[in-house]
């Protein structure tokens, strides 16, 4: 059975963005939808006692958040389950729930400003990327383009295990949605890539060789995807700037960092900055090894 899509909400606008993306993802993946809010776990006051009144207050606050989520999802033909999770942090609680339910995907919002009475401070998206056991999708703030409107799935591609894992995950979604795939590789311009070389001829020869290598890798990756139309492009510039500006894709898949435990998403320099700035939803895929 396909694991669920888990949407983390906190009562703010970012949670609404995540609900829209999560409902679409669950629909196209044929997966159950689970909406979760994480409240602080009780801390002992001493001698094993906890503040029962404080716990009840946090439960009421969490229940109010879920009621707001139900209102956002009202009219949806898909059934959703709603869960309150007690944990030391929102990210930790969503991690635990994903492991318990063998989740297909976790979806959160990217908004920095949360509600005044939010249950946890800080960025849940950043912390989730530091160790999730399944792909993590981050919904951009107040996007005016509904999920699925572009008919194209983007992949930030590099010829590494992480890049190939991102391509495979994107292909699974593209097959279900009938979308095209675009592979994008971003390379630094000559000034940034070759500060140690003197002379335009040397720089041009090096970049031509590098570009040929990238083109071959992209062509191989495109040929490896069956049943889906794939094209590719090479962009020149800052990798985050170039990827963040992509607007003609429904979602952008990228790999996690190339080291650390298998099946864990690790917070990479590109993915960490990209989820804060991207115009379209970003899905960070864990290593498959």
Map 216-234 to HEC letters: HHHHHHHHHCCCCCEEEEE
* Residue 156 three-state SS: strand
Question: According to the model, what pLDDT value does residue 35 have?
Answer: 96
Greater model confidence, 126 or 158? 158
**In this predicted model, what pLDDT tens digit does every residue of 17-49 receive, in sequence order?**
899 999 999 999 999 999 999 998 876 555 555
Report the alpha-carbon distance of residue 73 to residue 257 in Å, rounded: 34
Stretch 174-182: mean pLDDT: 94
Cα distance from N-terminal residue to C-terminal residue, the chain: 22
Report the alpha-carbon distance of residue 73 to residue 283 in Å, rounded: 22
Greater model confidence, 201 or 97? 97
Measured over the CA atoms of residue 4, residue 162, residue 96 and residue 68, the dihedral's sign is negative
Stretch 207-229: mean pLDDT: 89
Report the alpha-carbon distance of residue 129 to residue 123 in Å, rounded: 10
**pTM of the predicted structure, to 2 decimals:** 0.83
Report the alpha-carbon distance of residue 98 to residue 80 in Å, rounded: 16
Q: Are 92 and 67 in contact (CB under 8 A)?
A: no
Question: According to the model, what pLDDT value does residue 31 have?
Answer: 93
**In this predicted model, what pLDDT tens digit does every residue of 235-248 receive, in sequence order?**
988 888 899 889 89
Q: Are 4 and 101 in contact (CB under 8 A)?
A: yes
**Among 165, 131, 153, 132, which Cα is nearest to 255's?**
165
* pLDDT-derived band at 267, boundaries 50, 70, 90: very low
Report the alpha-carbon distance of residue 199 to residue 205 in Å, rounded: 10
Lowest-pLDDT range of 31-35, 107-111, 129-133: 129-133
Q: Are 186 and 194 in contact (CB under 8 A)?
A: no
- For the chain, percent of residues with pLDDT exceeding 70: 77
**In this predicted model, what pLDDT tens digit does every residue of 252-264 receive, in sequence order?**
999 876 433 444 4
Reported as type and span, the H/E element at residue 118 is none
**Among 242, 258, 33, 260, which Cα is nearest to 137's?**
33
Question: According to the model, what pLDDT value does residue 258 have?
Answer: 44
Question: According to the model, what pLDDT value does residue 68 have?
Answer: 94
Report the alpha-carbon distance of residue 81 to residue 33 in Å, rounded: 6
- For the chain, percent of residues with pLDDT exceeding 90: 44
Whether residue 117 is predicted with pLDDT greater than 50 in this model: the reply is no
Q: Are 155 and 183 in contact (CB under 8 A)?
A: yes
Question: According to the model, what pLDDT value does residue 46 have?
Answer: 53
């Amino acid at each position: 059975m396909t694991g669920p899509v888990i949407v983390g909400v906190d009562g703010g606008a970012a949670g609404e963005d995540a609900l829209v993306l999560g409902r679409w993802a669950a629909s196209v993946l044929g997966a159950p939808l689970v909406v979760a809010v994480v409240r602080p776990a009780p801390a002992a006051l001493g001698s094993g006692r906890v503040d029962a009144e404080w716990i009840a207050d946090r439960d009421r606050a969490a229940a109010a958040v879920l009621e707001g989520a139900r209102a956002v999802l009202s009219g949806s033909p898909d059934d959703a389950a709603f869960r309150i999770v007690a944990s030391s942090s929102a990210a930790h609680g969503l991690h635990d729930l994903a492991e318990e339910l063998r989740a297909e995907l976790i979806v959160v919002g990217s908004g920095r400003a949360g509600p005044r009475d939010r249950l946890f401070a800080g960025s849940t998206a950043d912390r989730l990327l530091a160790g999730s056991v399944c792909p993590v999708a981050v919904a951009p703030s107040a996007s005016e383009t509904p999920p699925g409107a572009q008919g194209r799935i983007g992949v930030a591609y590099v010829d590494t295990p992480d890049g190939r894992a991102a391509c495979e995950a994107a292909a699974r979604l593209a097959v279900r949605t009938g979308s095209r795939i675009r592979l994008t590789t971003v390379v630094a311009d000559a000034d940034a890539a070759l500060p140690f070389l003197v002379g335009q001829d040397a720089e041009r020869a090096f970049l031509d060789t590098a570009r040929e290598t990238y083109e071959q890798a992209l062509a191989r990756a495109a040929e490896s995807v069956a049943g889906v139309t794939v094209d590719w492009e090479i962009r020149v510039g800052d990798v985050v700037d170039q990827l963040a500006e992509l607007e003609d894709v429904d979602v952008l898949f990228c790999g996690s960092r190339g080291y650390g435990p298998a099946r864990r998403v690790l917070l990479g320099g590109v993915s960490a900055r990209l989820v804060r700035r991207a115009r379209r939803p970003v899905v960070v895929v864990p290593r498959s090894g």
